[in-house]
Chain A
Amino acid sequence: MLRLAQLQDALAENPMESTIERFLATHAAPLVDNEGVTFLYRDGSAKEVHLRHEIMGLESRQEFLRVAGTSLHYLPMQVPPTARIEYRLEVRDDTGTRTFVDPLNPIRSDCPYGEKSVVTAHGYTRPGFVRERADVRRGTIETVRMLSAVFAEERVLRVYLPARYRSDRAYPLLIVHDGSDYLRYAKLATVLDNLMHDREIEDFVVALTDSPRRLTEYKVDPRQGDFLTNEILPLLQERYALRDDAASRCLMGASYGALTSLHTFSRFPRTYGKVFSQSGSFIHADVRRRTIHEVDPERLEDDEPILRFVSSFSRQARSEPAKLYLSCGRFESLIFFNRSLLDVLRREGYEHHFRESYDGHNWTCWRNGLKDGFRYLFPGDVLLYYP
């Protein structure tokens, strides 16, 4: 770790707090170089400092080292060059143990699971397609309220219409689970605007759905598929210029959203021909004992419906054409389940693509994967477009 070595050299020469301060005034923390990342924490009263992260395969709680005679704690870590890591610090002192975001690192994740600090390795770049551009016309988002008979309550969905939308054309449809989170945390509307503008993807209509009880409704609950297919779809077909074939309809979601997408896709093979799955919670009997159920046996019973569905999906042959795009972060435990599903897709002849990234179970990872997935499922005219 080149940068850490620089700090250590400086401290060897002059082991004073002022040396650390001078170094930190000119170096952002954590220290990032070609070899990896060094996490830093300054607290003279801390007895123990740990890094808390969710990188699969690494100890999720890693202890910092301390530079003797100073307040500086550090933890060097070798990471892949394109890695992005979300983390918190756990500190024990005389008053107890607390976890918090890294005070030396101003970069925070924007996600619904609680604030985390973020560090990216030297080869990571924020994709350009997530930035709002002045030259790009924006699509419009309409709000549709409806009374769901399936859920016996009002549901609100939002509908994204491409900037070039014309009611005398017919468009493919994408139905997104956790639509509000995709809009907020994955910048979905901006991504769609940019990719459609550049013709990287074709124009399509997006129905953004939400669930007030996603942990039950998205957990292979047949009501969710009924709601989409028997209530939302007819309403959308009536209001918007949509194509009327399975190959033009795609279901999308992350985590449980991906699980329910695959579940509905499997139940209604003549209605949906595509799935965009991000970090799908496809808990599979083949690998369950080696992963989360090994550490948390109580979840086994809880996950039984998922196990049953994924097992039945694995045995199910589908005659209708299908195209699936799956992605998962290599730092997630779900990577094993997703990889195991690939065998099924290959065996059953599904047209599919699987992408892994050095990231975790978070919205930034899913945001960064949008372009690849959309280009695979809704390829545009970029080859024919020369502005």
Chain B
Amino acid sequence: MTGAIIIDGGTGRDPGPLQVARGRILEPTHGDRSVRGSRKVVLITAGWQAEEFAESHLKEALYRIGVPPRMPGNQHHNVQNLSLYWEFEKFCEKEPKLATLYSDKQDDVKKTMELYRRSNRMALRQLKAQLATVQSWFPEWSFAALLDRATPHRGRVDDALGLAAEELSLEFDRIREQDQWLLDRLARLDRAFLDASKLRENKTWLAKRRLLARRIKSAATLVFYGGHLAVLLNRLHFFDLGPILRESLAAGATIVARSAGAMALGERVVVYHDEYQDRHHTFELFGRGVGMLPGLLVLPQHAERIRKGSQDHLAFLARRFPLRACIGLDEGAVLVVDGGDLDRCISLGPPDSALRFTPEGDERGLQPGETVFAGASRKVGGPC
């Protein structure tokens, strides 16, 4: 039994994701009969930080679509907030020493990311400068075409175009190596923190994780909202909730996610904003996600955040992160990821509400019912 992940392209705190998943909320597919019968919905609004519990309108919306706070004869709440932000705050209050260690580790994470950002910025500038030079000589050659020319011929070129393409390709590889460098360093910092803190042997932590696991596993539907991506993701990682969420999904739960909530579920988390001043680069790796969307990079709010009209820019995005599909989402877009290994992704939103950024640098609108990918032939490590 495997559930499904429904990604809603909307933004904000409205009940949109509940409407999108209404059918599954009312007729759950969970393998556990009692969970299925309860139709229980757990809301994850930790990205709203201190406003985590400002979700009464969602409870009202659920009531209107047929999920009352309690089902007849059911003693337990049927709509519940996971209270992830709150539980983390309480943990920090109760375990101040561990909280300080964690905060110190997060400071190290920030420093590591700043180093990455600086070297990334330099490498990107270099890549852009080289691309501009090469294209001034060979104006008909796009970034994608140059990379494609370089890859099969690397080391066997005998003309200026081939050499230039190879140079660009090496520069591009350097950026991807830096991405991998970041992931490695973040993993090392995490390991060092866990070794030093013995967090996972701490009784308070274990109790809180059990509590959170109970809430997650009791849900037929889990709804992730957006907000502050780092806050949400850090708390999911802190309580090591990835395995529990995967277990719940494997048991047949439906996971609905929008915005930062959907980004956190991916394998790699990429942050972006082309219009943000003083950022000389537009996409940067933020770290690993919960790992529930294999091969899929979702980019919410693309209309506002991603500069269009430059094939080279989009080709750079689609090729940089070695995933199966890079999908820009906006209001109305709906993606459903399901299948035994979550190896099928279908777009169900209106035409063009989701965009596929191709390795050639094109942006192609997805049509209702269009398959983004299907089958187990996923090859992580290659371009989208």
Across the two chains, which residue of chain A brings its CB closest to B263?
A386
A387 to B300: give the CA distance in the assembly, Å.
10
Question: Contact between A166 and B277 (Cβ–Cβ < 8 Å)?
Answer: no
Q: How far is the CB of B22 from chain A (nearest CB, A)?
A: 22
A-B contact pairs, 24 of them (CB 8 A): A166-B50, A353-B278, A375-B277, A375-B278, A376-B277, A381-B228, A382-B273, A383-B273, A384-B229, A384-B271, A384-B286, A385-B228, A386-B11, A386-B47, A386-B226, A386-B227, A386-B259, A386-B260, A386-B263, A386-B301, A387-B12, A387-B13, A387-B227, A387-B260
A383 and B271 contact, Cβ closer than 8 Å, known pairs A164-B50, A166-B50: yes
Any chain B CB within 8 A of the CB of A379? Answer: yes
Q: Tell me the chain A residues, 360-387 only, with Cβ under 8 Å from chain B.
A: 372, 375-376, 379, 381-387
- List A contacts of B277 (CB < 8 A): 372, 375-376
Distance in angstroms between the alpha carbons of A166 and B89 in the assembled complex: 14
Spell out A's residues near B (CB within 8 Å): 164, 166, 199, 353, 372, 375-376, 379, 381-387
Binding site for A on B (CB under 8 A): 11-13, 47, 49-50, 226-230, 259-260, 263, 271-273, 276-279, 284, 286, 300-301
Nearest 6 CB-CB pairings of A with B: A386-B260, A386-B259, A386-B226, A384-B230, A383-B271, A384-B229
Nearest CB of B to A289, in Å: 36
B174 to chain A, nearest CB (A): 22
A140–chain B nearest beta-carbon distance, Å:
15
Inside 8 A of B227's CB, which chain A residues have their CB? 385-387
A383 and B279: CB pair below 8 A? yes
Residues of B within 8 A of A386 (CB): 11, 47, 226-227, 229, 259-260, 263, 300-301
Q: How far is the CA of A387 from the CA of B14 in the complex (A)?
A: 10
What is the bound-complex CA distance between A372 and B50, given in angstroms? 28
CB nearest to A381 among chain B residues: B228
**CB-nearest residue of chain A relative to B12?**
A387
Q: Shortest CB–CB separation between residue A245 and chain B, in angstroms? A: 15
Residues of chain A with a CB closer than 8 A to B286's CB: 384
Complex: A386 Cα to B260 Cα, angstroms: 5
**Cβ–Cβ contact B278 & A384, under 8 A:** no
| Residue of A353, A379, A384 with most chain B CB atoms under a 10 A cut-off | A384
Cα–Cα distance between A386 and B225 once the two chains are bound (Å): 10
Contact between B278 and A376 (Cβ–Cβ < 8 Å)? yes
Give the complex CA separation of A383 and B278 in angstroms. 12
Give 11 A-B pairs besides A199-B228, A383-B279, A386-B47 with Cβ atoms closer than 8 angstroms: A375-B277, A375-B278, A379-B278, A381-B230, A382-B276, A384-B230, A385-B228, A386-B227, A386-B259, A387-B11, A387-B226
Q: Which B residues are CB-close (under 8 A) to A384?
A: 228-230, 271, 286
| Assembled-state Cα–Cα distance A383/B270 (Å) | 10
CA of A155 to CA of B300, assembled, Å: 49
Please indicate the chain A residues that have their CB under 8 angstroms from the CB of B300 in the complex.
386
B276 near A387 (CB under 8 angstroms)?
no
- Give complex CA distance A387, B49 in Å: 11
Measured in the bound complex, the distance between the Cα atoms of B114 and A379 in whole Å is 14
CA A386 – CA B306 in complex, angstroms? Answer: 13
The residues of A that contact B13 with a CB separation of less than 8 Å are: 387
Give every chain B residue within 8 A of A199 (Cβ-Cβ): 228
Distance to closest chain A CB from B227 (angstroms): 6
Which A residues lie within 8 Å of B260 (CB)? Answer: 385-387
Find chain B residues with CB under 8 A from A164 CB: 49-50
Measured in the bound complex, the distance between the Cα atoms of B49 and A381 in whole Å is: 13
Query: With the chains together, A382 CA to B301 CA distance in Å?
Result: 12
CB A291 to nearest CB in B, in angstroms, measures: 31
Residue of B227, B272, B277 contacting most chain A CB atoms (<10 Å): B277
Chain B CB within 10 Å, residue with most, of A353, A385, A387: A387
Select which of A376, A383, A387 is within 8 A of B272 by beta carbon: A383
Closest chain-A Cβ to B284's Cβ sits at a distance in Å of 8
List of B residues within 8 angstroms of A375 by Cβ:
277-278
Q: How far is the CB of B231 from chain A (nearest CB, A)?
A: 8
Residues in B with CB closer than 8 Å to A166 are 50
| A323 to B272 Cα, complex, angstroms | 25
**Separation in Å of the A8 CB from the closest CB of chain B?**
40
Least CB distance from B116 to A in Å reads 13
Shortest CB-to-CB span from A200 to chain B, Å, is: 8
Determine whether the beta carbon of A385 is less than 8 Å from that of B278.
no
- Which of A164, A372, A383, A386 has the largest number of chain B CB atoms within 10 A? A386
CA distance A384 to B286 in the complex (A): 9
